[in-house]
Structure 1
Amino acid sequence: MITIYTDGAAKGNPGPGGYGAILDYKGKRKELSEGFRKTTNNRMELLAVIKALEAIKKPGWNVLVYSDSKYVVDAVEKRWLDGWVKKGFKGKKNPDLWKRYLEASKPHNVKFQWVKGHAGHPENERCDELAVQAAEGLDLKVDEVFESGPDTNPLF
C-alpha cells in the first residue's frame, strides 16, 4: 500500500498557485511540489494527485489518497467522473487534468479518503505548506492549458 497526501493552493482564484504531495511507502516519504503563475485551486488539488500517482514507478499498487478537496474526492468516489467521461467532459472544467488523472490512476487500485482541511492533520498541513510555498515561489511555471483559455484550447 502506498499512501498519498495532497493539497492545492491558489492566491486568488485564478491566481498564482501550487500543489504539495507526500508519498508514503512503509514510512519512507517523498515530497513533491510545484508552483504556477496563474491557475485555480481545483486545478492544483487535482494536479497534486496526478503528480503523486505519476511518481509511482511500478504498476499494480493499492493506493490510498488523502485529500481535503471535495471536488477531487467526490468526482472519483461518487463516480461523477464516469459520467463526465461518457459525455466527453461537455460543460466540465479541467478535462485536460481529468484525462491525465485517468491515465495516471489506470495502473493502480486508487481509493480516496477526504480529510477536513486546516484541521490539524499533520500530513495535510505539510502538503498545505508545500503548496503555499510553491505558489509564492519565484520560479513559477505556466499552466499552459489554463492560460490558453477556452477560446484557444480544443479541450474546453
Structure 2
Amino acid sequence: MDKVEIYTDGACSGNPGPGGWGAILIYKGVEKELSGYESHTTNNRMELMGPIKALEALKRSCEIVFYTDSAYVCKAFTDNWVKKWQMNNWQTSKKLPVENQDLWMALIDLLKSHNATWVKVKGHSDNAKNNRCDLLARTAIKNRM
C-alpha cells in the first residue's frame, strides 16, 4: 500500500464567516498543495474540508498519516469520538446533535478505503508544513475577499 503524509489546516475570518482550507500531500518526496474557499462557514468546517479534499485527490487506497493542529478533527479519531457518535445515532454525550455531521460522514466514507492515523501538531509553531497549510487557507480567504 502506498504511503502518503497529509498536512491540513483550516481558517475562518470571523466564525462564522469566509473560510479557507489548505492541504499538503506528500508521496515519495513529492508535495502537492491544495486549497479552497467557502464564503460563509466556520473554522471547524474548514478544518474538516482539508482532509476531505486531500482524500478526494487520492487515486487509490493508501496508508496515510494525517497531521493537523485541530484537536477537534484529531481527537474525533484518536479518542474514538466518531465511533461513539455513530453508536449514539450522531448525538454527543450531552444528547445533542453532532455538529458538521455532513462533513464527518463524508470524511468517514472517504477513509473506508485507506488506513489512516492521526497526529496532532502544535499550530502556529515550528511545524513548517502546518504553517504552510495555514498560509494556504488564509490566502484562499484573502484572494476571495
Fold match (TM-score > 0.5): yes
The runs of 4+ residues in structure 1 deviating greater than 3 Å are: none
Structure with greater proportional strand content: 2
- The CA deviation string for residues 45-68 of structure 1, in whole angstroms up to 9 with x for no partner, is 011011111111012x11000000
Looking at structure 2, the residues matched to 131 and 4 of structure 1 have their Cα atoms a distance apart, in angstroms, of 15
Give me the whole-angstrom Cα distance separating, in 2, the residues matched to 1:107 and 1:82. 17
Q: 1:131 aligns with which of 128, 137, 140?
A: 137
2:51 aligns with 49
Give the structure 2 partner of residue 74 of structure 1.
75
Identity within the alignment, %: 47
- Cα offsets for 1:75-98 (capped at 9, x unmatched): 011101001112221311000000
**Unaligned residue ranges in structure 2 (runs of 5+):** 92-96
Amino acid at match of 2:129: E
Q: Provide the C-alpha distance between the structure 1 equivalents of 2:44 and 2:103, rounded to a whole number of angstroms.
A: 10
For residues 28 and 75 of structure 1, the distance between their equivalents in structure 2, rounded to whole angstroms, comes to: 28
Structure 1 residue ranges without an equivalent (≥5): 141-156
Q: Deviations over 1:103-156 (max 9, x none)?
A: 111100000000000002110010000000112222x8xxxxxxxxxxxxxxxx
Number of residue pairs aligned between Structure 1 and Structure 2? 138
Q: Distance in 2 between matches of 1:14 and 1:134?
A: 16
Question: What is the TM-score normalised by the length of structure 1?
Answer: 0.86
CA distance in 2, matches of 1:4, 1:40: 22
Secondary structure, counterpart of 1:93 in structure 2: coil
Equivalent residue, structure 1, for 2:36: 34
Q: Equivalent of 1:24, from 20, 26, 34?
A: 26
Task: From 96, 112, 118, give the equivalent of 2:118.
Answer: 112
Preserved contact between residue 5 and residue 66 of structure 1 (Cα < 8 Å): yes
Match for 2:128: what amino acid?
A: P
Counterparts of 1:25 and 1:72, CA distance in 2: 22
- Give the CA RMSD over aligned residues: 1.0
